[in-house]
Structures are given as structure tokens and as C-alpha cells.
Amino acid sequence: MRDYFDLFNITKEQLKLLLDEALASGGDYADIFFEYSTGEVLALRDGEVNSIRNDIDFGAGVRVIRNGRTGYAYSESTDLRDLRAAAQAAARIANSPSERRKTAQIVPLKLKNYYPRSNESSDFNISSKKDYLKGIHTRLSEGDSRIIQIIGQSSCSLSKIIFINSLGEFYCDERPLASVVFSVIFTQGDITDNYTSSKSFRMGDEMFTPALADEIVGEILDAIPTVLEAIRPKGGEMAVVMGAGGSGILLHEAIGHAFEADFNRKGISIFSDKMGEQICSKSISIADDATIPSNRGSLNVDDEGVPGQKTMLITEGVLTSYLHDRISAQHYKVKPTGNGRRESFRFEPIPRMRATYMENGTATTEEIISGVSQGIYVDKFRNGQVQIGAGDFTFFVKSGRMIENGRLTRPIKDINIIGNGPKALADILEVASDGKMEDSTWTCGKGQQCPVSCGMPTVLVKSLTVGGNNQ
């Protein structure tokens, strides 16, 4: 902890002084978020690791809340004079100096560690990562002669954080995040196409294992012949079987955002008056979880001092909780759920997802597919979006297969799927027991960029609208 205070050149006494300053105009609550982030990206092009990017970001943000309203300012200097100016700027949200509160006694939070690092003292360095990327490149280029370009990238970042609030809650946290991304461009005859595989975890260099390289190489080499053979299906409404893993994007887009309580506090979410109601089949339970070890969406503690936890959004079909930050929790008179997240010290926290997944059902994948006479099976995705008020969500499918008479047939690709959140949820007819988390580099962009993840067992959605040809 001493190291953190030295890093930001600040003392506990000064922190308390700053919080008192932030509350001087009558704020109900104040917090300060110090962050020192370093990041390194190595890029492989033309068979060589020939560029590096390295970034340092340092500063502190001060937030003041008054009656659910937010004042926020940040400083890139932790000089006390600059921090006081930020505190004074944030304090402007309040205008009742006579109601001035005092900061409570400072008590460190006791936190679990969901991203333990196994080899912090390892000698895995830039040269090792170069070899790692080049190794994957070699295996890909030797693995399929149709590949004409390979682009690879490793990324590692580490954020060191001090947080303190006027309730006296205090923590230090160190958040690693690493990823590997490989894209290939391949050609056969007059067809040229691409495929990308990415993996990401809250880990450091220990992420770069031979097993992970095997997984990336295997996924890409398996995908190439399938993508080359793939077509666009006939579009329109049809049954969609969503494969285990990445199909969790359905949860993220169709319901996850609509469960973020800032949208519900404003009354604009299509789920804003559904708490406690049965909104889907009893076979469905959905969680948003910060506690999965080393998962990209995991957090020991959120960005406003609430310990990492698992939150059940839907339990046996009943809407049981929204995703809360402190402001929405106070509005709904519930405990915050640890979903107050921010992109960096430059932003105030808002309700955000972490790792969102559906729990297992009892069906098998084979049973589900065999019950579909005409539809599609989808398992790889690229991006998604939702209209919160209307509930209409979309996700872009990179690959899947047609289902004809209960059998997986021709591969399909590059289609968008659109549906309505509440209806799609109610239309989930079967849930398999093969749930798994998707470990790709999912980043959610709700005004601020936050790493997230998702997961899902195979499910059958009775009907969604599929983009495709009309012939």
C-alpha cells in the first residue's frame, strides 16, 4: 500500500482533506479515483514483429454526488493544488454549503483477488512475446497455403488504483489485462475473405501459453475452409440456435444493457417496470459476475468501492435485479451490485456489465438442433448493439450453419440478426447443459470503453429476424 501512496505522491491525510473539500458545497457523497496505467502492444506484420506501442496514463478523478446528480472533474497531476481544483470543480453540483458533511473514518476494504498472477517475477519479456507471435505466424502460414496475409498483436496493460470515498471506504487494486489477436486474409479462386481469433484475460504475461497458441491456431485453421464454403442464407424470420460461448452476446445486447439501472432510473428501459415479474421460461437464470478467476470482465472491486460479486439478473425466469451503481442503488433503495465502472480516471462510474452469462439447462445440443426443421445455427460473432427504449437489439454473425430438417448443413457468414429483447428472451424455448464462457476481446462501448465478457449454453430461440438474401 505504501508503494501506491508513493506512486501518486499523496498521503491519507491529504486524501481526507480533498474529500472534505469536495463535500464543501453540500454534496451527499464524494470519491477520488487515482489511476496509473501502463500498456504495451506488439504488432506483427509481414511475418515480423516490427512495431511496438507503449502508453502511460496517470491522474485522478473527483466525483461529488448530490441528490443523484453528479459533479466530476479530473487532474493529470496529483499535486495537491491541482487535485483541490478538481475537487472544487466537482463540488459545484451541490449548492448547500450549510449541509456540509464530513468524511468518515478511513477503513481499507477487505477484498478477494480474482486475478491472481502466477509469474509476476517471470523473465517473459518483449523478446519472448516476439517469439510467441512469430511462432503463431509460422504455424498459420505453414498450416494453410490459402493464407495470403497474417496480422497479429499482443497487448498487456496494468492499472494501479487508489480509491477512497467519503464513507471512509478505501482500496488499492492492481488490474492486469492481456490479449492476443490474430487476423488472416485468405483466398481461393475469386474468393477473398478474412477471419479473426482473439483471446483475452485479466492476466499478465502468464497468459501467453503454448496451449493458448494452439487454441488460436486451431480455431483459425478450422475456420478457413468453412468461411470459404459459406454463403448468405435466405433472410427473414426463423428459428435460431445459438451455440455455446459467444452467443452470450445475445444476453449482453438483448437484456444486459436494458438491465443497467441508469436506463431504468430514467424510466427509458423497456424492462424498467418489470422487477419481480416472470419475464421468461423458468429454465432460464442469468448472472452478471465479477468473480470468475482471470476473466476479462472480472473485478476485485468496482470503481466506486463495491466489492466484486455475482449478481443474479434473472432467477428461474423472474427478473430479480438490475445492475446498479451507487446512484441507481440509492434511487431504488437497494445495495449497489458492484457494477459502477469507468473507462479511466477521466470518467465517472456508471452501471456496466462484467461477465454476463446464462446458467446451464438440461437439454443437449443435439436434441436442440434435431428439433429444428428450418433455421440457422450461429456460433461466432463480431459486434452488437441495442436500442434501449424499443428493446431492439442486433448482433453480427461471422459464422454459423444452416439447419435443415434437424441437421447442420451449409456454412453461413456475415449476417446481422435483429430481435426485440423481451420477446427474444421469452422465445428461448430450450437451454442446453454445455455452457461456457467466451474469452474473446469483447469491449463494451456505452460512452466509455470497458472490457467485458459473456457466456451461454446452447439455446433455441423460436424466432429472430435474420439478414440474408431474399431469393
Partner 1 sequence: MALDAGASNVRVILEKGRGDVVTILNGKIDRLYQAASSVLYFHIFAGGKYGTFSTNLMDEVTLRQFTANAVNATLLMTPDEHRSLPERELCYKGDGPDLQQYDPSIESRPSTRGIAIAQEVAAEMLSDGRVISAESEYGDYVEEHFIADSLGFEGYQRKSGFAIGATCSVGGKGDEKPERNWYEDEVFFDNLQYRGCGTKALNMALESIGPVKMPSGSYNMVVDRNIAAKLVMPLTKALKGSALHTRNSFLVDRLGEKVFGENVFLRDMPHTIGNASSRLFNIEGIATKERDIISGGTICNYFIDNYYSRKLSLAVTIGTPSVVIMPKNELLSNNKLSLSDILKRAERGIYVTQFNGGNCNAATGDFSYGIEGFLFNNGEITHPINEMLVSGNLIKLWNNLIVTADDQMKSRKWQIPSLCFSNVNFNGL
| Residue 410 engages partner 1 in binding (rule: CB under 8 A) | no
| Residue 384 engages partner 1 in binding (rule: CB under 8 A) | yes
| Residue 148 engages partner 1 in binding (rule: CB under 8 A) | yes
| Residue 60 engages partner 1 in binding (rule: CB under 8 A) | no
User: Quick one: 173 exposed, middle or buried, by C-beta within 10 A (0-12, 13-18, 19+)?
Assistant: buried
Kindly tell me which residue out of 96, 118, 127, 278 binds partner 1, with binding defined by CB under 8 A.
127
The helix, strand and coil proportions of the chain, stated in percent and rounded to the nearest 5, come to: 25, 40, 35
Kindly tell me which residue out of 14, 183, 188, 364 binds partner 1, with binding defined by CB under 8 A.
183
- What are the two backbone dihedrals, phi and then psi, of residue 207, each rounded to the nearest 5 degrees? -70, -30
Only one of the segments 102-110, 159-167, 358-366, 463-471 lies at the binding site for partner 1 (rule: CB under 8 A); that segment is 463-471
Confirm if 25 and 96 have CB atoms less than 8 A apart: yes
Of 248, 260, 381, nearest to 332 by C-alpha is 260
Residue 101 or 382: the one with the smaller Cβ distance to partner 1 is: 382
CB of 380 to partner 1, least distance (A): 12
Q: Which amino acid appears at position 323 of this protein?
A: L
Q: Of 418-447, which residues contact partner 1 (CB under 8 A)?
A: 418-420, 422
C-alpha cell of residue 231: 454463403
The H-or-E segment that residue 32 falls in is strand 29-45
Helix, strand, or coil here: 371?
coil
Q: Of 93-122, which residues contact partner 1 (CB under 8 A)?
A: 93
Binding mask 269-308 for partner 1 (x = CB under 8 A): xx-x------------------------------------
Straight-line distance from the first to the last Cα atom of the chain, in angstroms, rounded to the nearest whole number: 65
Residue 260 or 359: the one with the smaller Cβ distance to partner 1 is: 260
Residue 225 or 235: the one with the smaller Cβ distance to partner 1 is: 235
Bridge partners (DSSP) listed for residue 186: 147, 193
CB of 198 to partner 1, least distance (A): 15
Helix, strand, or coil here: 189?
coil
The H-or-E segment that residue 251 falls in is none
Q: Of 14-53, which residues contact partner 1 (CB under 8 A)?
A: 40, 45-46, 48-53
| Residue 389 engages partner 1 in binding (rule: CB under 8 A) | yes
| Residue 132 engages partner 1 in binding (rule: CB under 8 A) | no
Q: How far is the C-alpha of 155 from the C-alpha of 467, rounded, in Å?
A: 34
Kindly tell me which residue out of 394, 399, 440, 453 binds partner 1, with binding defined by CB under 8 A.
394
